Chains A and B, each alone.
Chain A
Amino acid sequence: MAYPIEMQDSIRKVETSRGHRMERSFRRLNFAEKAKLLETYHPDFRLAEKREIPIGPNKEDMAPSEFVALLESPSRLNPEAVDLEKVDYKIDVLVIGGGGAGVTTALLAKENGADVLLATKLRLGDSNTIMAEGGIGAATSPEDSPVIHYIDTIVGGRGKNIPELVEALVNDAPFIVEWLTNLGVNFDRLPDGSYFTHMPAGHSRKRSHSVKDITGLEIMRVLCDEIRNQEINVLEFSPAVELLLDDQGQCAGAVLFNFDTGQYCVVQAKATLIATGGIGRLHIQGFPTSNHYGATADGLVMAYRAGAKLIYMDFIQYHPTGIAWPEQMLGLLISEALRAQGAQVVNGEGEMFVDRLETRDALSAAIIRECGERNRGVLTPTGMVGVWLDTPLIDRIGGEGTFLRRFAGIHSRFKKYNIDPAREPILIYPTQHYQNGGIETKVNGETNIPNLYVAGEVAGGVHGHNRLGSNSLVDIFVFGRRAGMDIARKIGQVKIGRLSLEHIKVYNEALQNAQIVSGTCSPMLLPDYRFEKALTTVQYIKGR
């Protein structure tokens, strides 16, 4: 047992109440109760943490302060420093981002005859996709249907989802499962070949298709292999820093920055897809994050400067089951599949206070309430507070060995710290997980800027104000695929004019005219965790 003494008293309470709880569940919130809970405790409703976007297409819309600060910063690219007469790559399609959405678009565009260049900030495959544990949401079983998937998704999104996007999502989802299976992804299966599925929170049917607890890793390995088999040109460690427009105002490619050599690279493309993911590494409101190192909102900033419209940027998803102990794993995610498999959420007294299958927004709000106002959380030696995810219930319900069989990855990560989650509960606290909004998009990934496409987390609208579990792992492939096919269909007619970075100058001037002074520039590209920032604030302050 690697939990410190001061946490062990509480674990004993959890063990004592386990048998009694096992037969019971906490009453589900009705719609009115849920709305009240969110308004009072969900971080999205802390208005003091948001501010107005001062310029650009979403002027006066509210967004998290940390994100607005990037929009208030001038470009890190000096437009005068780049010679646009000297084009390094002239191609059909530039894909920016090497996660699930980007590689899917690259594969589909190539398959349909387009010439593709994929540029990514880190390595091919480095993304939040690779970290996805739970699964892909798709209505493939007889008791499910795209209609039920549609209803669940919109109710979970608080009714704000764009209906056409959700329709595309639920109709295409089963085809994505087929596509990935045909590429050789080893989904969990039953002996007759049908898929083993589970039911994440907010869904009404079992529809999440998993590969143990490493669904994203398995899919990304296969898709990156396919990119290499198709011999698609990939530029790693080459983040885009600004989009290029042409003299007609169409998107015409991007300027890349070579991390290794410090050189800029001009890419002219008939279609450009942004698939740069989300904003976790901005640490909205100081929350820890489950996100990849590269999740720094680069695509949102570039697209906004070029005139793309954003939607629902003020709705951030906090995943209720972020790790709160041990310190080394703070903020990392524990899959929702554990709750689907029976793990309950329990306070420091060993009592249930919310149903384990409430949607992520409601469950996070309930945990924040339990740890804060109700003061029934568990204090760690480093000053974090959390509640228990009672993981030993998984073996109690599913039989000895279920946890290890289904969640070997999670098991081995905790084992390094002498914690056995099959026998001991895991301490959790909400972690910043997903950006519900993003760049406005149509069903084929097009934006309001001609020839600029988006797919994946960087796009907004399909999830409304709150995404359901397993809907992002399907979203990236559905819209990545649609964008790739649409691009291949349309590039024949595209004529690119004279390349321009004039929009950067105009944007920088608009900031000056509004008398906005920023101490930094954007896009951020990498978070800065040097020196004392390597330590969590809590530990550092207590430590001094």
Chain B
Amino acid sequence: MLNDIIKMIPIYIMGKKYEVPEGLTILKAMEFAGYRLKRGCGCRGGVCGACVTVYRKKGNYQLKVGLACQTVIEPDIYLVQLPFVPANKAIYTIKNVPANDSNIIKLYPELMRCLQCNTCTKSCPMELDVMNYVAAAMRGDLKEVVELSMECVMCGMCAARCPAELTPFNIALLIRRMYGKHLIPPSPQLAQRLKEIREGKFEEELNQLKESNQTELQERYKELQATKGASV
């Protein structure tokens, strides 16, 4: 076993010192210290953005940002959680907002105030290229915004730290929705299937199946599995 004895290290939660086992994530370290979190804890798996934490390492002036559930503590780390950002969000009806840059600017005029200072990128716990998707939004390259912002967990840190007071995460959300709604061509296959269901094409067979027993269904299943082709 590697850990015959757990090594304890000091950490500072909002300035208060606690001794916790090394190797823990910030989230588990706070729990070990005795916190039963209400705010600042969500999926515990790095996708919900609830546990975003601002921290500084000993001997370093830089403030860093990480998800508490994904960031491992170090000795003498100073930390505070920032579970809510009062960020601006525009109200719109997506079907009435065609995908173009003038609609983006109408809803978020502050977009054009961007200073290209890169603070947003440096404060993203997901290490997204925030400044570059903001730049793409300014020049109307919506596809680029979709690609660069897709992993956003909506923690709001980019907005909290932006000196020009943009809300990059909400701007990207609007653009992704515009793109998905208005710029991807509709699927003819889906339209055909919806038509078939509306016309009741599968009704009779489903009614028969509802009366079938498990053995009959298993036989059908075996046949279907044999014709399923490659899964990839």
- On A, residues with C-beta under 8 Å from B are 4, 28, 31, 122-123, 125-126, 130-131, 139-142, 145-148, 150-152, 154-155, 158-159, 163-164, 167, 170-171, 174-175, 177-178, 181-187, 189, 192-195, 198-199, 204-206, 211-212, 214, 216-218, 221-222, 225-226, 228-229, 231, 237, 259-260, 290, 292-293, 327-329, 332-333, 340-342, 357, 381-383, 397-398, 408-409, 412-413, 416, 526, 528-535, 539, 542-544
Q: Is A341 within 8 A of B232, CB to CB? A: yes
- Nearest Cβ on chain B to A519's Cβ, whole angstroms: 18
Q: Does B60 contact A (CB under 8 A)?
A: no
Known: A184-B176, A382-B3. A332 touches B217 (CB 8 A): no
A178 CB contact (under 8 Å) in B70, B185, B190: B190
Residue from the set A382, A534, A543 with the largest chain B CB neighbour count within 10 Å:
A534
Q: Is B42 within 8 A of A292, CB to CB? A: yes
- Nearest Cβ on chain A to B114's Cβ, whole angstroms: 22
Q: Is B34 within 8 A of A194, CB to CB? A: no
Known: A167-B210, A171-B202, A534-B28. A193 touches B173 (CB 8 A): no
Q: Which residues of A contact B62 (CB under 8 A)?
A: none
- Nearest Cβ on chain B to A245's Cβ, whole angstroms: 28
- Nearest Cβ on chain B to A58's Cβ, whole angstroms: 24
Q: Roughly how many angstroms separate A152 CA and B227 CA in the complex, as a whole number?
A: 13
- Nearest Cβ on chain A to B30's Cβ, whole angstroms: 8
Q: Which residues of B contact A290 (CB under 8 A)?
A: 45
A130 CB contact (under 8 Å) in B24, B28, B48: B48
Q: Which residues of B contact A341 (CB under 8 A)?
A: 231-232
Q: Can you list, as one digit per residue, whether each of B150-175 has a CB less than 8 Å from chain A (1) or not (0)?
A: 11111000000000000000000100
Q: Is A194 within 8 A of B189, CB to CB? A: yes
Q: Roughly how many angstroms separate A225 CA and B92 CA in the complex, as a whole number?
A: 10
**Which 10 residue pairs across A and B have the least CB separation, nearest first?**
A184-B177, A159-B214, A193-B185, A204-B224, A534-B32, A534-B31, A184-B181, A381-B2, A184-B180, A186-B180
Q: Which residues of A contact B34 (CB under 8 A)?
A: 530-531
Q: Is B177 within 8 A of A218, CB to CB? A: no
Chain B interface extent, by class: 35 or more
Q: Beyond A146-B206, A186-B150: 18 further Cβ-contacts under 8 Å?
A: A141-B193, A147-B202, A147-B205, A159-B214, A174-B190, A175-B194, A182-B181, A183-B180, A184-B94, A214-B151, A221-B176, A292-B42, A381-B1, A381-B2, A409-B46, A416-B70, A539-B3, A543-B6
Binding site secondary structure of chain B: loop
Q: Roughly how many angstroms separate A340 CA and B229 CA in the complex, as a whole number?
A: 12
Q: Is A140 within 8 A of B218, CB to CB? A: no
- On B, residues with C-beta under 8 Å from A are 1-6, 21, 23-25, 28-29, 31-32, 34-39, 41-48, 50, 70, 72, 89, 91-95, 126-127, 146, 150-154, 173, 176-181, 184-190, 192-194, 197, 202, 205-206, 209-210, 213-214, 217-218, 220-221, 224-225, 227-228, 231-232
Q: Roughly how many angstroms separate A195 CA and B224 CA in the complex, as a whole number?
A: 21
Q: Roughly how many angstroms separate A228 CA and B44 CA in the complex, as a whole number?
A: 25
Known: A151-B224, A184-B180. A131 touches B1 (CB 8 A): no
Q: Which residues of A contact B181 (CB under 8 A)?
A: 181-184
Known: A146-B206, A151-B221, A534-B31. A189 touches B184 (CB 8 A): yes
Q: Is B209 within 8 A of A122, CB to CB? A: no
Q: Roughly how many angstroms separate A175 CA and B195 CA in the complex, as a whole number?
A: 10
Q: Is A526 within 8 A of B187, CB to CB? A: no
Q: Roughly how many angstroms separate A171 CA and B43 CA in the complex, as a whole number?
A: 31
Q: Roughly how many angstroms separate A229 CA and B174 CA in the complex, as a whole number?
A: 11
Q: Is B186 within 8 A of A398, CB to CB? A: no
Q: Is A140 within 8 A of B217, CB to CB? A: no
Q: Which residues of A contact B231 (CB under 8 A)?
A: 198-199, 206, 340-342, 357
Known: A151-B224, A184-B178, A184-B181. A140 touches B187 (CB 8 A): yes
Q: Is B194 within 8 A of A150, CB to CB? A: no
- What are 29 of the A-B contact pairs (CB < 8 Å)? A122-B50, A142-B192, A151-B221, A152-B224, A167-B206, A181-B184, A183-B180, A184-B179, A186-B179, A192-B188, A199-B228, A204-B227, A217-B48, A221-B152, A221-B176, A222-B176, A222-B177, A222-B180, A228-B89, A229-B91, A229-B92, A260-B38, A292-B44, A292-B48, A383-B1, A412-B151, A530-B36, A534-B28, A543-B5
- Nearest Cβ on chain B to A248's Cβ, whole angstroms: 34
- Nearest Cβ on chain A to B64's Cβ, whole angstroms: 14
Q: Which residues of B contact A383 (CB under 8 A)?
A: 1
- Nearest Cβ on chain B to A292's Cβ, whole angstroms: 5
Q: Is B210 within 8 A of A543, CB to CB? A: no
Q: Which residues of B contact A531 (CB under 8 A)?
A: 31-32, 34
